[in-house]
Chain A
Amino acid sequence: MLIEAVDLPALARGCSVLGAGGGGDTQTGVLAVQQAIAQHGPVRLVDLDDLPDDGLVMPCGIVGSPMVGIEKLGAVTEGEQLLTGLETITGSTVVALMPVEIGGSNGLKPIGWAARAGLPIADADGMGRAFPKVSQVTMEIAGVSPSPAVLTDERCNRVAIWAQDGEWLERMARALSIELGGRAAFTEYTMTAAQARRATARGSITLALRIGRAMAADDPIRALERELKARRLLEGRIVDVERRMAGGFVRGAALIEGLHTDSGRVLRLEIQNENLVAIEGSEVRAMVPDVITVLDSHSGEAIHTERLRYGQRVTVTAFPCDPIWRTTRGLALAGPRAFGYEFDYVPLEQLA
């Protein structure tokens, strides 16, 4: 299958839904990929099963501040810098690129790099959603080494990192991205196609595309119920939003008061860049790593956490995360306790 310029709006819509309120605005990502495809032609989307076992898959994306990304739109050389950097270090040839994070703009950018490199994009990603840290990836759960990682900027500065573990990679990559101007392209957890088959969220690009198309063709909420087994937690209006900075991350909460059939109910949505936990009264209705996405009740578009505002009519939905996150290692990395909560994970399907 080929990804063409006309597919991008639907793909972007799907990436926003999978972003759980994070992953950055998809607008510049769409434009960058459209330009790359206009110059270099459409991108081949391949299943990991169709790649040679020992072929290298390069997970990649952007690390940094979304605010910087709306000024520094990205250089045409970024993808190639990562590729040459990685191939020089490993001595192997990359056979496909893969988004490290399907949620938000990181689900799109690597497709543009693949177009420029003339390589296919693997139909998978390292999260199946969006998370704040570069180490919160399925490859970490599967025991793939995060190293060597490569970071590059628009000037073609290039840094290779051999980190002890994912947490050290996160610390070093974050510090470097700031020094490089608040934003850097990066690749991490490089692996063979054989490894990738059991270490990634499979089929996430086709899933994002299918979500975007289904939402355009049908009532968006019904489309999500069908495509993602999404559960509608509450339809209502936002009556309060609070935000504060904590350790470089934005933490906060939104209160949503039910309307229509949900009248009389109140949902509290807790946020750290992404939507983490939805609580009603004393009951948790959905929790990370399951995906909680807030949709505009009128337009059906997913709303990023930084755009939540008093008075908005919203429908809060939740759907199951990729099963790999529900393993012991997965929950240790990105379960409720990893975000400072004092309770254990309960799958969405088992919650009231």
Chain B
Amino acid sequence: MSARQDLRIGIDVGGTNTDAVVLDRSDRLLAKTKRPTTADVTRGITAALDAVLADPGVDQARVTHVMLGTTHATNAVIERRNLRRVAVVRIGAPSTTAVRPLFSWPDDVRAAVSAGERIVGGGIEYDGREIVALDRTELSRFLETVAGEVDGVAISSVFAPVSARHELEAQEVVRRVVGEDVHVSLSHEIGSLGLIARENATALNAALIGVSADVTAALDAALEAHGLHPAIFLAQNDGTLMARDYALRYPVLTIGSGPANSIRGAAFLSGAEDALVADVGGTSTDVGVLVNGFPRESSAAVEIGGIRTNLRMPDLVAIGVGGGSVVSICRGDSVKLGPASVGYSLTERGLVFGGDTPTLTDAAVVAGRARIGTVMPSDEARELLVRGLATADAMFAEAIDMAKGRGGDRPLIVVGGGGVLAPDRLPGVSEVIRPRHHDVANAIGAAIASVSGQVDLVFHLGEGGRAAALEDARNQAYEQAVRAGADAAAVEIVEVEELPLAYLNAPAVRIRVKAAGPLSSR
């Protein structure tokens, strides 16, 4: 046994590569690797893990934590694989009967997930009053018809973000009728305002329970092969971590962790707290915004496998330009970039590597931004490439401007394998930072992440007024962060947002608070 136990492994599963890094107590990078992402995801993770553990700079007995950002849940939804059977309960009769649960779901995923749907009497008003009482009799009757056929129950009440009391009451009924061991997902713990999108995310969460169990089991097995039993954390879509037990209950929150990890990794590598981040991949580029060290979140609905949800995701501007994007001429002599990409066969098909396909990486070489490859493209190709890069620069500039928001110039941190493409000067950008180890920024983002809790609730301003509502929201966020595995002594409130509600004379405000802190057992 080594005297010191102080190493963390960060793993990020991307569309092309699975990256892993090992960091020590002072966040120094000891090892890194890039392995192809495999169809089953798990084999790629194992390969990346084996590679960093075999690194001579790593004493594997010192590993205490593994942080994983994975696409398992996303893939399960998109491919309709490994989904559990769920009974979908909406507490919303009669106020929501005009649109039944899962109405807009694609037929195949609905068939794979749903063991039945029912709208039962109940629900809450925007000001916290009861619309009607919870109909426990109807709920029990429905649950009896599905008991034994379901692995989980998803419960969503009207205005659960204002008051969760009908969801909590319904959970007790489920425990009594279906049993203590059935999984229950409650919408107020998963999504914010917007019943249909929140209900969808809640049903998906219940359907994905098996996926998070599988992925942690596979990771355990891979670590066990090395005789390791570190604490396991999963990355979530806001760039923070969930402890294993928490992740087992909220698998849907792992969807979208990739971009969040790269933004957090870029923050760490550059030391910036407020900046723009461009993650330039092989086929596309995501531009995100770092605010107080966290990714700025999107307010728009997010579709996963054809299902609308309102999960909190990083606010990204995506453009179809990456290192492998093919440069061609289309009608009217205009230059076309992508959407075709040579992907990871760049080193065979790119012009500078002796191939026959003009790519943006070739253009970067011609422009002197990169020094790679062995062959200089022909004069004719050079003209095309120069024009292609000018088009790409214009697209970068537009994406940066769209992502930036109001205010003055900000630094831009460029990460990802295709980062050489990005120009050194852009309007609205004070400086372009290209940090060392930028190619594994996402795995680093997972390894250095903190643990968070967030509430997004509507408060009816009662006796204590605004101050009491804010205090309540802060406490709830703090407690959530601690439950998720953060160090109680070091949790801080990192974000507070208030929105008054329109067309309502009664005082109501939507309050969003996020608390975050370092891991408790570090």
Contacts and interface: CB of A to CB of B under 8 A. Distances in A.
Interface of A: 27-28, 31-32, 34-36, 64-68, 70-78, 112, 154-156, 174-175, 178, 181-182, 237, 239-240, 245, 248-250, 273, 306, 310-313
A125 to B, nearest CB: 20
A342 B398 CA distance: 38
Interface of B: 92, 94-100, 103-104, 123, 125-127, 129, 131-132, 158-159, 193-196, 398, 401-406, 500-506
Given A154-B95, A182-B126, A311-B401, A73 B196 contact: yes
Nearest first, the 9 A-B pairs at minimum CB distance are A74-B98, A65-B503, A154-B95, A32-B98, A311-B402, A73-B96, A75-B94, A72-B95, A181-B125
Contact of B98 (A65, A75, A178, A310): A75
A70 B96 contact: no
28 contacts: A27-B196, A31-B104, A31-B196, A34-B103, A35-B99, A65-B503, A66-B502, A67-B502, A72-B92, A72-B123, A73-B98, A73-B99, A74-B95, A74-B96, A75-B95, A77-B94, A154-B94, A156-B94, A182-B504, A237-B402, A239-B406, A245-B502, A306-B502, A310-B404, A310-B405, A311-B404, A311-B405, A313-B402
B99 A28 contact: yes
Contacts of B506: 178
B402 A28 contact: no
Nearest to B510: A67
A239 B427 CA distance: 14
Contact of A70 (B195, B398, B403): B195
A184 to B, nearest CB: 11
Contacts of A313: 398, 402
B502 A71 contact: no
Nearest to B198: A71
Contact of B94 (A68, A155, A245): A155
Given A73-B196, A182-B125, A311-B403, A65 B95 contact: no
B186 to A, nearest CB: 16
A248 B504 contact: yes
Contact of B193 (A70, A74, A174): A70
A66 B403 contact: no
A182 B99 CA distance: 19
Given A76-B98, A248-B502, A155 B131 contact: yes
A20 to B, nearest CB: 16
A66 to B, nearest CB: 7
Contacts of B404: 310-311
A31 B195 CA distance: 13
Contact of A71 (B194, B401, B403, B504): B194
B100 A35 contact: yes
Contacts of B103: 31, 34-35
A240 B97 CA distance: 40
A248 B502 CA distance: 6
Given A155-B131, A182-B126, A310-B405, A249 B502 contact: yes
Q: Is the interface of A mostly helix, strand, loop or mixed?
A: mixed
B311 to A, nearest CB: 16
A70 B194 contact: yes
Nearest to B308: A27
B501 A65 contact: yes
A139 to B, nearest CB: 22
B305 to A, nearest CB: 18
A34 B104 CA distance: 10
Contacts of B405: 310-311
Nearest to B405: A310
Contacts of B129: 181
Given A35-B98, A306-B502, 18 more contacts: A31-B196, A64-B503, A65-B504, A67-B193, A70-B195, A70-B196, A71-B96, A71-B159, A72-B195, A75-B95, A155-B131, A178-B504, A181-B127, A237-B402, A240-B406, A310-B405, A310-B406, A311-B401
Nearest to B402: A311
B502 A72 contact: no
Nearest to A65: B503
A227 B90 CA distance: 42
B97 A76 contact: yes
A206 to B, nearest CB: 24
A175 B505 CA distance: 8
Contacts of A73: 92, 95-96, 98-99, 195-196
A316 to B, nearest CB: 17
Contact of A312 (B96, B193, B195, B402): B402
Nearest to B502: A250
Given A65-B504, A240-B406, A310-B406, A36 B98 contact: yes
A72 B96 contact: yes
A167 B31 CA distance: 72
Tell me which of A156, A182, A237, A245 has the highest count of chain B C-beta atoms within 10 A of its own C-beta. A182
Contacts of B97: 74-77, 154
A339 to B, nearest CB: 17
Contacts of A239: 406
A248 B98 CA distance: 27
B172 to A, nearest CB: 23
Nearest to B129: A181
B403 to A, nearest CB: 7
Nearest to A77: B94
B393 to A, nearest CB: 16
Given A71-B126, A75-B94, A182-B125, A248 B406 contact: no
A182 B501 CA distance: 11
Contacts of A34: 103
Contacts of B123: 72
Given A237-B401, A312-B402, A68 B99 contact: no
B402 A72 contact: no
A252 to B, nearest CB: 11
A240 B407 CA distance: 10
A222 to B, nearest CB: 19
A312 B504 CA distance: 29
Contacts of B99: 28, 31-32, 35, 73-74
A314 to B, nearest CB: 11
A240 B404 CA distance: 12
Nearest to A31: B99
Contact of B503 (A36, A66, A154, A155): A66
Contacts of A72: 92, 95-96, 123, 131, 158-159, 195
Contacts of B193: 67, 70-71
A34 B402 CA distance: 35
Contacts of B95: 72-75, 154-155, 181
A237 to B, nearest CB: 7
A181 B502 contact: no
A32 B505 CA distance: 27
A71 B97 CA distance: 11
Most chain B CB within a 10 A radius of its CB, from A72, A237, A245: A72
A245 B499 CA distance: 10
B196 to A, nearest CB: 7
Contacts of B96: 71-75, 154
Contacts of A240: 406
A68 B126 contact: yes
A337 B430 CA distance: 45
Contacts of B504: 65, 67-68, 178, 182, 248
Contacts of A64: 503
A67 to B, nearest CB: 5
A182 B162 CA distance: 14
Contacts of A36: 98
Contacts of A312: 402
Contacts of B194: 70-71
A312 B406 CA distance: 12
A248 B125 contact: no
